[in-house]
Amino acid sequence: MRAIATGSSAAMFTCGELALTIGWTRTVFLGFHPEPTARVARSYGHVPVFHPNLLPLPIKAVLLALRIEEECHSVEHLVRLSLQRSRRACFLTFAEQRLSPPHSAFVRREAMNRYFCALDCGMTEVSANRAARKALVRRGQPLISERQLRRWANRVDAAGGPDLCPLDVFFDLKSIRHVRTTKQPHHGKPAAVANDIHSLRATDAGGGEND
């Protein structure tokens, strides 16, 4: 990696921003092994950023095709346009915004920031997902499934990504509680949920995963 510790990121973008602009997942984007140009501070953590001119040829080709389609004069214009469209889709009027969002909104944003920062830094989705759910449980939030956290991530991405997503979106994220079936006991936590809580607490106590 070229070690450029600080500097302006005006023409450089995170893998999340570029992947969302193209319509890929972060995993697909990183599968082309792009080389980060620098590491900068974003609202959700210190993450690698990429200069459009230094990306692998397949990614450059896709971005060029999108620029022509969208009539954008630069990759920066294309990315900003994509993010603005996403954010406008969930825009709330002043009257709709909460002047004092509940504490849960801040806790969820903190956990999702951990998730997106881990993904942008190259961590696998499974590990990033687990780290975020651990963070939620630590802060007293109810346990959610891996699938539910991915739904939350999709919602945040659809609202402009972790950098632009309004705080109210994090409050509106709903957890789907486990529904007991006739084959499960009538009281106590379902076995799968209880095992998941035990597993998260065990790895937390034993330092099994990096925070």
Could you report the per-residue pLDDT of 97-147, keeping only the tens digit for each? Answer: 555 568 888 999 999 999 999 999 999 999 999 999 999 999 999 999 999
* Mean pLDDT on 160-176: 80
- pTM summary value: 0.74
Cβ-count burial of 126 within 10 angstroms (0-12 exposed, 13-18 middle, 19+ buried)? exposed
* Residue 172 pLDDT level (bands cut at 50, 70, 90): confident
Domain end, chosen from 89, 119, 141, is at 89
For 18-37, b/e burial (b = at least 16 CB within 10 A) is bbbbbebbbeebbeeebebb
* Mean pLDDT on 8-24: 86
Angstrom distance (rounded) from CA 114 to CA 137:
14
> Residue 51 half-sphere exposure, CB side, CA atoms within 13 Å?
9
Residue 192 clears pLDDT 70, i.e. is over it = no
Which of residues 170 and 133 earns the better pLDDT score? 133
- 115 assigned to some structural domain: yes
Domain range for 117: 103-206
- 122 assigned to some structural domain: yes
Residue 43 clears pLDDT 70, i.e. is over it = yes
- 171 assigned to some structural domain: yes
Does residue 141 sit in the same domain as residue 65?
no
In DSSP terms, which residues pair with 38 in a beta bridge?
A: 49
Q: What is the pLDDT of residue 89?
A: 60
Angstrom distance (rounded) from CA 153 to CA 137:
17
Tally the domains of the chain: 2
